[in-house]
Structure 1
């Protein structure tokens, strides 16, 4: 049996800011991971493509407020930075 992917450890290298901000990014990244895993069966960020994150931002957050979408966008940018990708996401 394999261990579940540790999103906190994955993001540790790029997380900065206050404790509350880091916890928010971790919580949101876990939500993103669960949604992508359910839709595409891609369990870890290493298997993700830009389309997976773009889908999440466009389709899973379309009924959310602008500020919520913005905070998720910041988390997605952190994930892309950790993956060493130059993907650009816009609000």
Structure 2
């Protein structure tokens, strides 16, 4: 099994805003990473496909409030931006 990616370092180049906002994106990215690793056995973001993030947003966030889903979509967009992928995620 590969070493876990440091999400704070991974996202450092694309995150802007307040310290609290950056920490929220990092925390949510770690949750996304853990869920994808369990379900799809993809440890690093470079191994992810759009379907992995879409699965997380559609299935793992389906019972969450609209506000929570919104913030996770923002984090997914940051991840796609960092990976330089043209992936689009809607609310």
Fold equivalence (TM over 0.5): yes
**Unaligned regions of 5+ residues in structure 1, if any?**
none
Equivalent residue pairs, number: 91
Q: Does 1:58 align with 2:58?
A: yes
Counterparts of 1:1-91 in structure 2, within 5 Å, are: 3-91=3-91
Q: 1:60 to 1:2 in 2, by over 3 A?
A: closer
Which contiguous aligned blocks of 4+ residues in structure 1 show a shift greater than 4 angstroms? Answer: none
TM-score by length of 2: 0.97
How many Å separate the matches in 2 of 1:2 and 1:32?
A: 17
* C-alpha RMSD of the superposition: 1.1
**Unaligned regions of 5+ residues in structure 2, if any?**
none
TM-score by length of 1: 0.97
